[in-house]
Structure 1
C-alpha cells in the first residue's frame, strides 16, 4: 500500500526501536531482521485493505512485537488494543506506543482470557494459536458485524478443516503478498455450532 511521509516515518522509527530491543529480547526471529520490512512490516500492512470501513477498535492477540497490531495502528490511526502476557514484550509495546505518540493504542499486559477489551470491530492474531482457538476468542471479543483477520501458513487448510465441525462462519481467503505459502483468512458471522443431540 502507498504510505504517506508521516506513516513511513513512524514505521521507520518503529523498525529502529524493534531492532534495538531485539538484541535484548526475542521479538522477531534473528534470521528475519535483515528483511524486517518485507517479512514483518509489509506482511502486516497487507491487512489494511482487508479492514472494514469505519473507525471501530482493532484488537491484536499475542501481539509480541506489535505485529500486526501496532503496524495497523500506525497505518490507520484507529483505536487499537494490544494483548501481550509476556511482561518484557509488553514493556516494548508500551515504549513503542509512547515514543511514536500513538495515544490511541492501549497495551493489555495480561492473558487473553483476562483482558478487558471493548467490543472489537476487528480482531487479529499472527502465529498465535490454531484456528479453532482463535475462533473461540473472536466469538467472545468481536462486536456484532466484526471481522477476524488471521494470517495462516502452510497448515491453513488443515486448521480450517479441524475448526469447521465446531464453528460456523463466513470465510474469505486472500493469498499473502509476502509469503507464497501463506493465506489470510477473513472471517465474519462467527458462531459456535451446537453438537447434534
Structure 2
C-alpha cells in the first residue's frame, strides 16, 4: 500500500509508533525545514511530502532487522534513515545505537543538533566512510542516496566480514545497479519491495566476496 500525501497522523496509523516517537519525528521535520532554508540537506520540493517520502521510507528499513541494535548509516546527510532507526530503538528500549557517518561538517552539525533535541541514541562521526575503523562491529549497514551499489558494498565489506548485513534502499534503477555491482562482487541477495514506491526496493545483502 502506498501513502502519497501522508500526514503525521496517517504516518502514526500506518506505522504504529507511539506519540512520543511521533513527537521526535515532528522535531526532526521542523529542524530540517528550518535548516534546509540555508543549506542543502534535502531537495526542497520533497519537504511537503516528508511523512511519505522521507519518514515512512526511512522507518521501513528497521522493520527488516527488528533484532538488530547496532546500526551503521553511511552518508547520513539529513539523518535518513538513521534517525528513524534510532527512534525505533528508543521505542524498544535497551542499549542500541546508530552511528551516523557524514563527512560534510555542516550536515554533521545538523545531525548532532537533532540527536540532542530528540535524545536519539545516535553517534555522529564526521568522517568519510572509507576512513572508518574496519574492525568495528555493527549488525546492519545502511545508506540512502549516497553512491552506487558497487561503492556501497566496498564501504560495507569490512563490517559484513565482521557479521553485519546490508540493507540498502534503492530506486527504480536498482536492477542496473545490481548488474554493475556483480561485475565486482558476489553476494547473497534478497530484494524486498519498498513500501513507498512500486519501482523501488530494499536490497538485503550478505556474504560479500570480491570477484
* CA distances 1:128-179 after superposition (whole Å, capped 9, x unpaired): 1111111111112336332101111121011101111321211111111112
> CA–CA distance in 2 between the matches of 1:191 and 1:119?
18
Residue 184 (structure 2) aligns with: 166
2:125 maps to 1:108 = yes
**SS of the residue 1:168 aligns to:** strand
Name the counterpart of 2:3.
none
1:146-161 matched pairs, under 5 angstroms: 146-161=164-179
Cα distance between partner residues in 2 of 1:60 and 1:2: 23
Does 1:189 pair with 2:204? no
TM norm structure 1: 0.91
Is residue 102 of structure 2 the alignment partner of residue 88 of structure 1?
A: no
| TM-score, with structure 2 as normaliser | 0.85
Report matched runs for 1:1-197 at 5 Å: 1-51=15-65, 53-55=67-69, 57-77=70-90, 78-102=96-120, 104-116=121-133, 118-142=136-160, 144-193=162-211
- Cα distance in 1, alignment partners of residues 75 and 145 from structure 2: 8
Whether the aligned pair in 2 keeps the contact of 1:138 and 1:190 (CA below 8 Å) is: no
TM-superposed deviation, 1:116: 3.7
* Alpha-carbon spacing, 1:177–1:143, altered in 2? closer, same or farther (3 Å): same
Number of aligned residues: 191
Aligned-partner Cα distance in 2 for 1:87–1:146: 27
**Unpaired segments of 5 or more residues in structure 2?**
1-14, 91-95
